Structure 1
Amino acid sequence: MGKYILAHDLGTSGNKATLFSATGEMIGSSISSYDTHYFNEKWAEQNPEDWWNAVCTSTKQLIEQLGISSEDIQVVSFSGQMMGCLCVDQQGVPLRDSIIWADQRAQKQVEDLEQYLTQEEFYRIVGHRNTASYGIQKLMWIRDNEPEIYEKTYKTLNAKDYIVFKLTNSFYTDYSDGNGMGCFDLENLQWSDRIIKSSGIDPDKLPELKPSTFVAGKVTEEAAKATGLSPSTQVVIGAGDGVTASIGAGSVSEGKTYCSLGTSAWVTTTSKKPIFDPEMRTVTWAHAIPGYYAPNGTMQYAGGAFNWMKETICTSEKVEAERSGNSIYDLINEQIERTPAGSNGLLFLPYLLGERAPRWDSYSKGTYVGITSETTRSEMLRSVLEGVTFNLAIILEVLQKHIDIEEMVIIGGGAKSEVWRQIIADVFALPVKAPKLLDEAGSMGAAIIGGVGVGIYEDFEVVERFITINQSQVNNSDNLELYEKSKRRFDDFYFALRPVFEKHQLEGGAY
Structure 2
Amino acid sequence: MTRDLLIGVDAGTSVIKAVAFDLTGGQVAMTSRRNHYLTLPNGGVEQDMRRTWQDTVDVLRDLGEQVEGLGERALALSVTGQGDGCWLIDAEGVPIHDGWLWLDARAAAEAREIAESAGIDVIYRTTGSGVNVCQMRTHLTWIKRHEPELLERAETAMHCKDWLYFNLTGKRAADPTEAVFTFGDYRTRAYAEEVLEALGLADLRRLLPPIVDGAAEAHGLAAAAAAAT
Q: Same fold (TM over 0.5)?
A: yes
Aligned: 1:219 with 2:184: no
Q: Which residue of 2 aligns with 1:158?
A: 159
Deviation at 1:111, TM superposition (A): 4.0
Correspondence 1:373-452 to 2 at 5 A: none
Q: Distance in 2 between matches of 1:69 and 1:135?
A: 35
CA pair 223-56 structure 1, distance change in 2 beyond 3 A? same
CA contact (8 A) 2:6 2:77 kept: yes
Amino acid at match of 2:29: G
| 1:421-474 alpha-carbon deviations (Å, 9 max, x no partner) | xxxxxxxxxxxxxxxxxxxxxxxxxxxxxxxxxxxxxxxxxxxxxxxxxxxxxx
CA contact (8 A) 1:84 1:158 kept: yes
Q: Which residue of 2 aligns with 1:195?
A: 195
CA pair 59-79 structure 1, distance change in 2 beyond 3 A? same
Q: Which residue of 2 aligns with 1:94?
A: 95
Amino acid at match of 1:193: E
Amino acid at match of 1:189: R
CA contact (8 A) 2:119 2:199 kept: no
Structure showing greater relative contact order (alpha-carbon pairs closer than 8 Å, 6 or more residues apart): 2
SS in 2 for 1:178: helix
| 1:237-290 alpha-carbon deviations (Å, 9 max, x no partner) | xxxxxxxxxxxxxxxxxxxxxxxxxxxxxxxxxxxxxxxxxxxxxxxxxxxxxx
SS in 2 for 1:141: helix
SS in 2 for 1:54: helix
| 1:36-76 alpha-carbon deviations (Å, 9 max, x no partner) | 11122522111111221111101111111222341111111
Q: Distance in 1 between matches of 2:69 and 2:163?
A: 26
Q: Distance in 1 between matches of 2:191 and 2:58?
A: 35
CA pair 216-24 structure 1, distance change in 2 beyond 3 A? closer
CA contact (8 A) 2:5 2:75 kept: yes
Q: Distance in 1 between matches of 2:169 and 2:207?
A: 19
Residue from 201, 205, 208 that aligns with 1:206: 208
Amino acid at match of 2:205: P
Aligned: 1:115 with 2:114: no
Q: Which residue of 2 aligns with 1:244?
A: none
CA contact (8 A) 1:164 1:216 kept: no
Q: How many residues align?
A: 225
Amino acid at match of 2:123: F
Q: Distance in 2 between matches of 1:116 and 1:153?
A: 28
CA contact (8 A) 2:123 2:198 kept: no
Deviation at 1:98, TM superposition (A): 0.8
Q: Which residue of 2 aligns with 1:260?
A: none
Aligned: 1:174 with 2:175: yes
Deviation at 1:145, TM superposition (A): 1.2
Q: Distance in 1 between matches of 2:147 and 2:155?
A: 15
SS in 1 for 2:91: coil
Unaligned runs of at least 5 residues, structure 2: none
| 1:285-343 alpha-carbon deviations (Å, 9 max, x no partner) | xxxxxxxxxxxxxxxxxxxxxxxxxxxxxxxxxxxxxxxxxxxxxxxxxxxxxxxxxxx
Deviation at 1:2, TM superposition (A): 4.7
SS in 1 for 2:106: coil
CA contact (8 A) 2:180 2:190 kept: no
Two-structure CA RMSD over aligned residues (Å): 1.7
CA contact (8 A) 1:172 1:216 kept: no
Q: Distance in 1 between matches of 2:190 and 2:50?
A: 29
CA contact (8 A) 1:37 1:44 kept: yes
Correspondence 1:129-148 to 2 at 5 A: 129-148=130-149
Q: Highest CA radius of gyration, 1 or 2?
A: 1
Q: Which residue of 2 aligns with 1:392?
A: none
TM-score (norm 2): 0.91
Q: Which residue of 2 aligns with 1:57?
A: 58
Unaligned runs of at least 5 residues, structure 1: 228-511
Q: Distance in 2 between matches of 1:91 and 1:214?
A: 27
Q: Distance in 1 between matches of 2:43 and 2:192?
A: 28
